[in-house]
Amino acid sequence: VQLQASGGGLVQAGGSLRLSCAASGLFRINDMGWYRQAPGKQRELVAAISVGGTTNYADSVKGRFTISRDNDKDTVYLEMNSLKSEDTAVYYCNADGKELYDEKYRYYWGQGTQVTVSS
């Protein structure tokens, strides 16, 4: 199983970035999401999306970030607008899924992609 995240980088405050995360090796996927971890802080949920498209956002990103997914491609996206310096963190994608011969759903994580917002 692999979750391959991409799209991070350096951007000025007020700018935009789009993250992508493609999952492979999973037979079924329920929720997908994005988490982030800033230096010295705990990992926190940024946004999540169900297989049916129901979304959930951290208060700090509501109105600025948009999560979406393509179920045919097992890919989740995070559109980030009006970026602030406090959005600087490593962003991790997450999938609640199962492999073909596994009875249980498990949480799988991507490798993380750095987002740096300069003020």
CA atoms within a 13 Å half-sphere pointing along the CA-CB vector of 46: 29
The whole-number pLDDT of residue 59 equals 98
Of the pLDDT bands very low, low, confident and very high (cuts 50, 70, 90), residue 117 is: very high
Beta bridge partners of 113: 91
Average pLDDT over residues 16-43: 97
**If we measure between CA atoms, which residue out of 116, 44, 58, 45 comes closest to residue 87?**
116
Of the pLDDT bands very low, low, confident and very high (cuts 50, 70, 90), residue 30 is: very high
